[in-house]
């Protein structure tokens, strides 16, 4: 059971997270429309899925729940991590590694779908928060999707930072990792941390993608250059 304060934070944070995620997803989608980079496409798709998952959490907080909604939610939680990893895999130069991971992902996602459809999930809400135990088949199938994806994200993010030395990448790297791990936290039976990590992750991504201080600095430099 959650304390009153924790439950209140979770309910309010889901609304804030949804708004922040939609804005950030729209920003990255716009970047894809401009550059046509597949990495931006998959990262944007992952964030739209993240927003959809958070929207379902607001439904659950409002007491709207059924077996179909929870199956969709659990699939989205795993799929969004996979899409973020797909985006990061675009930065990998080895095509065989890319194709191997894509094939593995398709197989494990199919296994997850089968596990969700064939399992009796029941009501996993505790005080309107997704926190109940899941069938072991779903835990295993979800872990086969999320944990390798998290490894891909950490690996590619670290490699990108070492290559670019861009300090803004640190916030983006941490945000992507936290958001991706968030899906695994519920699966690993740490439901409360799922909501905290979602909030922290999206804030980190905002700091990374929307570097207000850096923009102001660039404006000043431009003005000085004109003078």
pLDDT over 50 (residue 144): yes
Distance of alpha carbon 61 from alpha carbon 63, whole angstroms: 5
Model confidence, pTM: 0.78
* Residue ranges per structural domain of the chain: 4-226
Residue partners of 185: CB distance under 8 A and separation at least 6: 191, 193, 194, 197
DSSP 188: T
How far apart are alpha carbons 55 and 17 in whole angstroms?
9
Q: What is the chain's mean pLDDT, rounded?
A: 78
95-121 per-position pLDDT tens digit: 888 999 999 999 999 999 999 999 988
- pLDDT tens-place string over residues 206-223: 777 665 434 444 444 444
Rounded Cα distance, 195 and 191, in Å: 7
User: What is the structure's pLDDT at 86?
Assistant: 92
pLDDT digits (tens, 9 = 90+) for 146-198: 888 888 887 887 787 777 777 676 777 777 777 766 655 555 455 556 667 77
Which residue's structure tokens are 């968030």? 182
pLDDT at 49: 92
Contact, 175 vs 202, CB < 8 A?
yes
Domain covering 4-226: architecture: Up-down Bundle (1.20)
Distances (CA, A) of 4 to 168, 189, 193, 194: 36, 20, 16, 17
The model's pLDDT over 53-66, given as tens digits with 9 standing for 90+, comes to: 889 988 887 788 89
């Amino acid at each position: 059971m959650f304390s009153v304060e924790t439950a209140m934070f979770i309910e309010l944070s889901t609304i804030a997270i949804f708004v922040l995620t939609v804005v950030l997803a729209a920003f990255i989608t716009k970047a894809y429309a401009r550059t046509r980079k597949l990495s931006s496409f998959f990262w944007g798709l992952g964030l739209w899925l993240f927003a959809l998952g958070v929207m379902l959490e607001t439904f659950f907080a409002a007491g709207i729940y059924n077996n179909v909604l929870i199956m969709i939610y659990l699939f989205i939680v795993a799929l969004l991590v996979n899409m973020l990893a797909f985006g990061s895999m675009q930065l990998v130069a080895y095509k065989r590694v890319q194709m191997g991971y894509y094939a593995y992902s398709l197989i494990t996602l199919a296994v997850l779908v089968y596990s969700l459809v064939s399992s009796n999930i029941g009501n996993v809400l505790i005080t309107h928060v997704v926190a109940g135990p899941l069938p072991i088949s779903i835990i295993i199938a979800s872990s086969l999707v999320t944990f390798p994806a998290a490894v891909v994200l950490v690996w590619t993010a670290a490699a990108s930072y070492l290559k670019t030395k861009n300090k803004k990448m640190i916030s983006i790297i941490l945000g992507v990792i936290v958001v991706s791990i968030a899906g695994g936290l519920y699966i690993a039976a740490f439901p409360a941390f799922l909501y905290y990590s979602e909030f922290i992750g999206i804030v980190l991504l905002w700091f990374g993608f929307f570097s207000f201080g850096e923009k102001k600095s660039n404006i000043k430099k431009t003005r000085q250059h004109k003078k």
